Structure 1
Amino acid sequence: MIVSAASALLISDIHLTPSMPLTAQRFFDFCEKDAPKVEAVFILGDLFEYWVGDDTVLHSPFHQEVKRALASLSTKVKIYYLHGNRDFLLGSDFLKKTGMTLMNDPAKIAVDGTEYVVSHGDSLCTADVAYQVFRKWTRKPWIQKLFLSLPAHWRRSIANHLRSKSTAQYQKAERLTPVTNRMKTNVTLPAIAAALVTQSGDRLIHGHTHLPAHHQEQYAEQSWQRWVLSDWDLDHPETAKPRASALLIDAQGVRYLDLIRH
């Protein structure tokens, strides 16, 4: 069954964490002021910087505040959620308490009568073979069950180690082989083509790559449109320009909505 809405906002890669308060506050403002203006909100993964189990947030004031914001929003609009590469362990307990509906990745939606395929996007980065192997194993239910059985502080320690290692490897590759690194961490045309064939679509929306843009692309006999969502970061102006946007789809078409307060 295809999810349908007359209007929608799509966001991804917010990477919510207590250490990024400005970004978090913009998300809370988004839930209170921007999101209620449409019929549906689609969160295409990486809502959180990392997630190591629903039980680990029970006593976290920050995560409780996020939960309340989402629960309040879900009384006004429909909220749909896709797992990202940082928060794929977000489970049924948190989904139930926030009123979000989990979707498969990829999935097809219809907004104002036009169909789109939505995905987080990490599964489309097939040039990064090592990551795809990692992704395959970490999506196995028995692996996840084993990890979630570990003490919470062990899980946090493992997650922080993996994040630090990933960041260091990316920074090293970006310094030594920037062009190759960007190709490796971006989506590939064959992967997009295969996903769109499977979903019988020709319009794709995804996040993950942090490279917001609208593309008109072709591979072999296939052609499609692709919209990439922005990541959000209002807390590190020393490394990059502040970023926060959403993709708005309604009767007027598809367009990016700048969420930075100027």
Structure 2
Amino acid sequence: MHASALFISDLHLTPSMPRTAERFFEFLEKEARTHEALFILGDLFEFWVGDDAKARSPFHLEVAQKIKALKQQGTKVYFMHGNRDFLLGEAYAQKADMAILRDPQVVTIAEQTWLLTHGDALCTADKSYQRFRSVVRSRFVQKLFLMLPTSLRVSIASSLRSNSTANYHRAQRFKPEAIQVKGDVTITATASLVSMTNCQRVIHGHTHRPGYHEESLGGQSWQRWVLSDWDFDHPETVLPKGNALSITSTGVKVLDLVRS
């Protein structure tokens, strides 16, 4: 239970995006310190192939140190796995001094309950992705994958990322309405999760479609906040973007993190 909290998602941190990392570090030093807790709802990193693969990476060690410094200042940090970094484990979490949450998770903020999820499990219209997700989230498959040499793991992850990006752009060119439907959460999946948890305030990321929605189905209603992805490194293709959701005793507020 916390009196105030911030929520972020889909930063996709990587050494090749230094401006996004810089904005995250600034966010930790400024906005995050004004709240009791920070919740990172998945895809903190662009990809993760095991804690051992990042054990000596200066970039990933710096991220851990910055997060740990926030915790030392009094703000608790929680992390939920995303579809890109679901292999992030306790070894790295301990370096960053952040607690790993299960997905979904119900928490109490400012005396209200909130349902947290990364969001990819709610995209049930994308049948192929859900089949892929069920396989890679298997503990047996993960154990086998982590036994592979690091270089091979990185190669596999890079190939999967390239195929995913290519499929996305192909769908946008030929069937933009299909990518809109397949890549978004479905109301039936959301309704099922709301019913299962008995919580009517949902926060998630993953879709890169930030917004607020009031929805209902089958006699139940809920509110849904969608977090933005972050990108401060590609002004030639997209405008800088990144937000956080602030919850305090005074209400809910979306923080635009783009510097003017």
| Alignment TM-score, normalising by the size of structure 1 | 0.98
Q: 1:78 maps to what in 2?
A: 76
Q: How does 1:6-155 map to 2 (within 5 A)?
A: 6-75=3-72, 76-155=74-153
| 1:181 aligns with one of 179, 182, 193 | 179
Q: Secondary structure at the match of 2:30?
A: helix
Structure 1 runs not aligned, ≥5 long = none
Give, in angstroms, the shift of residue 184 of structure 1.
0.4
* Paired letter, 1:52: V
Amino acid across the alignment from 1:254? V
Partners of 2:252 and 2:3 lie apart in 1 by 12
- Once the two structures are TM-superposed, the CA of residue 202 in structure 1 deviates from its matched residue by 0.7
User: Residues of 1 paired with 2:12 and 2:18: CA distance?
Assistant: 11
Q: In structure 2, give the amino acid aligned to 1:6.
A: A
Deviation string for 1:201-230 (max 9, x for gaps)? 111000000111010011121111000000
1:254 aligns with 2:252: yes
Letter in 1 for 2:17: M
Root-mean-square deviation (CA), in Å? 0.7
Map 1:199-214 onto structure 2 (within 5 A): 199-214=197-212
Farther off after superposition, 213-222 or 120-129 = 213-222
What do residues 36-61 of structure 1 show as CA deviations (whole Å, max 9, x unaligned)? 11000000000000000001112211
User: Where in structure 2 are there 5+ consecutive unaligned residues?
Assistant: none
Equivalent residue for 2:191? Answer: 193
Amino acid at match of 1:161: S
The code of the aligned residue for 1:71 comes to K
The size of the alignment, in residue pairs, is 259
Percent identity (aligned): 53
In structure 2, what is the equivalent of residue 218 of structure 1? 216
Q: What amino acid is the match of 1:162?
A: L
SS in 2 for 1:257: strand
